[in-house]
Amino acid sequence: MNPDPTDTEAVERVDAVAAAPDVYQAMAAFQQAAEKELPPLLAELVSTRVSQINGCAFCVDLHTRAARKAGESEQRLHVLPAWRESAVFTPAERAALALCEALTLLPDTGVPDAVYAEAAAWFDETSLTHLLWTAAAANAWNRIGVATGMGRRTSSP
């Protein structure tokens, strides 16, 4: 029998960090390595947008706070969900966001050649690869965060 997705009764979820700290440490190292060739603000924008798409409240909160700490403006964070309709993002940022959205929505959209080509026009091979790994890391974190209910267990100070 399939569970009713409208059932709002809270179910105790595993603490993935405590249950598998070695995997958590490996993921943290993976994310750090993925982001190392990207400007910090771009890495946070990408991780925030991926987290918004995936509905991971914990990760959206984490990455928007990190973006603010790195100097990101409130305006850009507020319009990030509608970045295509906003002029506040650079062409390179727009290309990165489009590529990372396509990667996040892979079953629905694939990664269109035009989206990939636009990103490749703005990023060298190393940076482009790090951009892809950063989106992949954010997607992995989101899936664990949503599955384990991390956003329900913690809140921002």
Q: Is residue 156 pLDDT above 70, yes or no?
A: no
CA pair distance 118, 92, nearest whole angstrom: 8
pLDDT of residue 118: 98
pLDDT-derived band at 4 (thresholds 50, 70, 90) equals low
pLDDT in tens, 70-92: 999 999 999 999 999 999 999 99
Among residues of the chain, what percentage have pLDDT more than 90?
Answer: 85
- Which among 58, 57, 93 is positioned nearest to 73, based on CA atoms? 93
Mean of pLDDT values over 132-156: 86
Residue with tokens 């062409």: 91
Contact 80, 48 (CB under 8 A): yes
pLDDT-derived band at 10 (thresholds 50, 70, 90) equals confident
Q: Count CA within 13 A, CB hemisphere, residue 63.
A: 29
Contact 137, 59 (CB under 8 A): no
pLDDT of residue 56: 95
pLDDT in tens, 35-69: 999 999 999 999 999 999 999 999 999 999 999 99
pLDDT of residue 48: 98
- The rounded Cα 137 to chain-centroid distance in angstroms is 7
Q: CATH classification of 30-150, choosing from 1.20.1290.10, 3.40.50.2000, 1.10.569.10, 1.10.287.1770?
A: 1.20.1290.10
pLDDT-derived band at 153 (thresholds 50, 70, 90) equals low
pLDDT-derived band at 101 (thresholds 50, 70, 90) equals very high
Residue boundaries of the structural domains of the chain: 30-150
CA pair distance 52, 44, nearest whole angstrom: 12
pLDDT of residue 157: 39
pLDDT of residue 152: 73
